[in-house]
Structure formats: C-alpha cells, structure tokens
Amino acid sequence: MSAIIQSIEAILVDIPTIRPHQLSMTTMGVQTMVIVRIKDSDGLEGLGEATTIGGLAYGPESPESIKLTIDTYFTPLLTGLPADGINTLKVRISQVAQGNFLAKSAIETALLDLQGKRLNCSVSDLLGGAIHQHIPVLWTLASGDTAKDIDEAQSLISAKRHCDFKLKIGSRALMDDVRHVAAIKAAVGDSASVRVDVNQAWDEATAAKGMAELQAAGIDLVEQPTPMKDLAALVRLSQKFHLPILADESIADASDLFSLSAGGFSGAVALKIAKAGGPLEALKVAHVASAAGIGLYGGTLLEGTIGSVASLHAWSTLEQLHWGTEMFGPLLMKDDIVVKRLNFHDNGVELPAGPGLGVAIDEDKLAQYRRK
C-alpha cells in the first residue's frame, strides 16, 4: 500500500546575503526562502524550496504569497493522497491553481525528494540518471563598483572557484554600464568568460546599441536585454548580432520556448525549475531547446541549498549545458540551514550523494532563521 501524505508545512526563512546584490529592479540584502516539508504515513519527509528575488520586484509571486498558496490551497488538496503518484498530484494541483509556478516547484521537489528516499535512490536517478557529478557554476559580480568587481573576479579565478562571470546591468546609463563591463573583461582577458544580465531593462533601440558595444568589448552572452513579453525584439536582436542572447524571463515553460524558437530565435535559454513549476517541467523546456538547436543554461532565482540541489539533479541529467550554470545561491548567503553545505571547487560544484536530494535540514539553523 502506498504511503499517504500526512502533512505539508511551508516555512519562511530569512538569511542575510554576504553583500548587497544589485539587480536592475532592486538591491537585495536578505534572501527569503520558503522551505516545504512533506511528511508521509511511513514517517519519511521530503524537502522542497521556493525562492524568488527581491519580494515582488521580480515577479508575481512573493515568499509570503507562496506560503499562503501552499497553506490555503495545496495542503488541503494533497493531504491524505498517495505520496508516490507525483504526476497525478501535479495534475490535481494544476486543475485548481493557474500559475503559481514557484509554489508548484517547491511541492514537486519535495515529492521527488520523498520518492527518492522511499526508493533509496537520488532525484537524478528518478529523472533518468546523472551524466555529470561535477557541474560548472559561474559567479555574479554585483557590487556595482568596477575595481571591487575586478578584484573579486581575479581572486576567484586564482582560487579556481569560478572562471565564468555574470554582471547585472541596466540600472545605470547605457554607456556607464558598457564601460564598467568592458573594463572588467579587459582585466580578466581570456582567463574568464564575461556575460551580462540586463533583467529586461532596455527597449529594443537601447539593446541594439548596447549589444553592439558589448560585442566589440568581447562579452560572450547577453541575458534578457528587453521586456519579457516582447518576443519579437529578442528574435530581431538574435538575428542581428553574433553575440548570443540568453532568454530568461521570456521563457517559463516548454510552450513559451516553442513559440520563441518558431519565431526564429537563435541563442540560449535559462532553465529554471522555479519558473517552470519544478524539475520535471524544466527538463521539458530543455527537450524543446535541444530539438530547436537552442543552447542550455542552468539558471537560478538565488535559491538556497535545497532549491539549488533540486536544480543540480535536473541539470546533471542533461548531456550538454552549453553555457554552464549559475547555481551559486548558497554562496551568496551568510549562513545555511542544511547539515552539510555544497562542495564548490574547480569552477563548479559536486552533485550531493545519497537518497532523494541528498541534503538534510539543520534544525537549529532553521529555528534561528525561521521568520517569527
């Protein structure tokens, strides 16, 4: 007989960041995670996480709304049902809740973790099996100060912790951003890849000028230069420059990417379990990308260890991640709520071993950072 879902708990956790993290729409000093714990009738527990950037500044779900959705709608819907019918539970949720992809992702992750523990296998095994045990990870240089960013990049290159860097731009005047980025690229030279994330801050005309300047400066990739709904602009820009564009906010699920690729877009896509609705749904996006010849990148919403590991299990099953990943969220936080932190080395991170996600909660740390 299948184990039954007995309880679902959604917990708000606030952890300070190691430094202010600047984006085009906000600056973060604290990251708030929604940690989900699903317990079954056999006493096993599955862990999940839903995390966004800067409250409501980034998207339509906030940590508080995610917790409310899970507590009010998902918990009574799923409690008492078989815990191993993941697809059935996903369909049931989708029938009563439109959108709410971050909340859905946390639930799907916890169900996969629970199933892995039950079967004594990893989440990556449930997803088809890991091809990679060590996955490349870039670092975001987001102080906004050119000299500080150069020092930080060179230090991380020397330590072999990161050799790919992303810069958050778009909040300043275009040429100020270009000069900032170009100086960093000139300083690191061929020892590192430098990319930029505009977070939708430019209109198409500004993006065209910006991409011309960035292309000349040797930048490798431009992430989401224009507003998320302006798919035609992404297509035109991707056809105008050999500097690749990374579609991020424009792509939530597989149907979004199908529409963009059918329109003539060439470039890359940022896979995110949060915006897709879970690891299974994110891999559907990857399959469409592979069919369309679009490059893959493992994206983050700056999740903590639980959410990052869920993503890593999914990314580990992909044969090629053309642009690596940005699963550095745990490194951005001053502390952690898991017993064993991730092992970042040699410009990447190790996939945790063990059943399910391979991570366990540190109850004392959870109590310390849990929102009162």
Residue 214 confidence (pLDDT) above 80: yes
Residue ranges of domains in the chain: 5-125+362-369, 128-350
Identify the architecture of domain 5-125+362-369 in CATH: 2-Layer Sandwich (3.30)
DSSP 30-44: EEEEEEEEEEETTS-
Which residues are identified as catalytic? 168, 326
Which two tokens mark 92?
């049931």
| Averaged pLDDT, 286-296 | 97
Which two tokens mark 158?
């020397």
Pairing mode of beta strands 348-350, 344-345: antiparallel
Question: Per-residue pLDDT tens for 159-207?
Answer: 999 999 999 999 899 999 999 999 999 999 999 999 999 999 999 999 9
Pairing mode of beta strands 164-168, 5-22: unpaired
Within this chain, domains 5-125+362-369 and 128-350 share the same CATH topology? no
Which residues are paired to 34 by β-bridges?
Answer: 12, 50
Question: Per-residue pLDDT tens for 324-345?
Answer: 999 999 999 999 999 999 999 9
What integer pLDDT is reported at residue 25 of this predicted model?
A: 65
**Sign of the CA dihedral with 92 first, then 94, 96, and 100 last:** positive
| Averaged pLDDT, 82-86 | 96
Which two tokens mark 17?
């960041």
According to the 3-state scheme, what is the secondary structure of 289-346? HHHHCCEEEECCCCCCHHHHHHHHHHHCCCCCCCCCECCCHHHHECCCCECCCCCEEC
| CATH number listed for the domain at residues 128-350 | 3.20.20.120
Residue 29 confidence (pLDDT) above 90: no
What integer pLDDT is reported at residue 21 of this predicted model?
A: 72
Percent of the chain with pLDDT over 70: 99
What integer pLDDT is reported at residue 23 of this predicted model?
A: 65
What integer pLDDT is reported at residue 53 of this predicted model?
A: 85
Residue 54 confidence (pLDDT) above 90: no
What integer pLDDT is reported at residue 24 of this predicted model?
A: 60
Contact 122, 116 (CB under 8 A): yes
